[in-house]
């Protein structure tokens, strides 16, 4: 075989050398691969006990399973949505011991024995939670994908205000927390709505909080 172009000859020689090396190392690499433990298949399963919407639930899980995946994939509570899966959109918000968290950022094993409330546990079609009813009344959703997280977050947020936990915009860190529009928007800023139903969401939260449109108590 003759090569008039030196560059072509060099490419050919490199290809031959690479092929020869692969053939020589192939059996060794395969034996090394076979000796490696399969960490995915060999992960030690753990027992986790959760109290979901008032019911005790026992699960046996891979310790790497998030609370979100435990709810959706293992318990089939699909009301809690998987949005960004990075803790940035709030669609997966649930209440743990009354406080709101992003379920996608928390491992299920971290909540052994905890009381967890999902959107399914807030109310029923026959007896809606006041926040659910207010979202319907004020049309606080369009596509509805973020709505379960919005509602759970709003319930948790009002609990924070009642407990006197300040936010970034709270004027008085030690006094009574106001349920103002700016306060609601700041506290709900971690829950994104791609349909931009924010004014209606604020109106729903204000109604449940007992605040009239002019800012005072209803």
pLDDT digits (tens, 9 = 90+) for 95-127: 999 999 999 999 999 999 999 999 999 999 999
- For 44-60, the pLDDT digits (tens) are 999 999 999 999 999 99
What lies within 8 Å, CB to CB, of 113 at 6+ separation is 49, 50, 51
Distance, CA of 100 to CA of 153 (rounded, Å): 6
The backbone torsions φ and ψ at residue 55, rounded to the nearest 5 degrees and listed phi first, read: -115, 130
Burial degree of 74 (CB within 10 A; 0-12, 13-18, 19+)? middle
Whether pLDDT at 34 is above 80 = no
pLDDT-above-90 percentage for the chain: 71
Burial of residue 76, with CB atoms counted within 10 A of its CB: 0-12 exposed, 13-18 middle, 19 or more buried: exposed
Average pLDDT on 171-185 reads 87
Q: Give me the domains of the chain, ranges plus CATH numbers.
A: 47-122 (3.10.20.30), 125-218 (1.10.150.120)
In this predicted structure, what is the pLDDT of residue 18?
Answer: 60
Instruction: Collect all residues with Cβ–Cβ distance below 8 Å to 190 and sequence separation of at least 6.
Output: 90, 93, 102, 153
Segment 18-46 shows an average pLDDT of 57
The residues, ordered by sequence, that sit 6+ positions from 154 with a Cβ below 8 Å of its Cβ are 131, 188, 201, 204, 205, 208
Q: How far apart are CA 193 and CA 141, in angstroms?
A: 8
| Residues forming beta bridges with residue 47, ordered by sequence position | 60
Question: What is the tens place of the pLDDT at every residue in 137-174?
Answer: 999 999 999 999 999 999 999 999 999 999 999 988 88
Question: What pLDDT, on the 0 to 100 scale, is given for residue 171?
Answer: 84
| HEC-encoded secondary structure of 149-193 | HHHHHHHHHHHHHHCCCCCCCCCCCCCCCCCCHHHHHHHCCCCCC
**pLDDT for the residue 36:** 45
178 has a pLDDT exceeding 50 = yes
pLDDT score, position 218 = 47
Does the pTM exceed 0.85? no
The string of pLDDT tens digits covering residues 186-200 is 999 999 999 999 999
The C-alpha atoms of residue 84 and residue 91 are separated, in whole angstroms, by: 8
* Long-range pairs of 123-131 with CB within 8 A, sequence gap ≥ 24: 129/155, 130/208, 131/155, 131/204, 131/205, 131/208
| Residues pairing with 217 in the sheet | 211
Per-residue pLDDT band for 12 (boundaries 50, 70, 90) equals low
What is the β-pairing status of strands 46-52 and 55-61?
A: antiparallel
């Amino acid at each position: 075989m003759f090569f008039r172009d030196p560059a072509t000859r060099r490419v050919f020689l490199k290809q031959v050398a690479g092929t020869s090396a692969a053939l020589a190392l192939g059996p060794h690499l395969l034996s090394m691969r076979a000796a490696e433990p399969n960490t995915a298949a060999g992960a030690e399963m753990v027992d986790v006990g959760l109290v979901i919407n008032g019911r005790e639930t026992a699960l046996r899980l891979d310790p790497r399973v998030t609370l979100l995946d435990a709810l959706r994939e293992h318990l089939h509570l699909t009301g809690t949505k998987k949005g960004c899966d990075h803790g940035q959109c709030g669609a997966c918000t649930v209440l743990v011991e009354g406080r709101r968290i992003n379920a996608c950022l928390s491992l299920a094993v971290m909540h052994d024995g905890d009381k967890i409330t999902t959107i399914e546990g807030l109310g029923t079609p026959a007896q809606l939670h006041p926040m659910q009813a207010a979202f319907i009344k004020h049309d606080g959703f369009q596509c509805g994908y973020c709505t379960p997280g919005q509602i759970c977050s709003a319930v948790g947020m009002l609990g924070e205000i009642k407990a006197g936990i300040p936010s970034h915009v709270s004027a008085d860190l030690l006094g009574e927390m106001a349920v103002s529009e700016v306060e609601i928007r700041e506290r709900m800023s971690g829950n994104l709505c791609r349909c931009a139903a924010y004014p209606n969401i604020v109106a729903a939260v204000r109604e449940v909080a007992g605040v009239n449109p002019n800012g005072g108590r209803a």
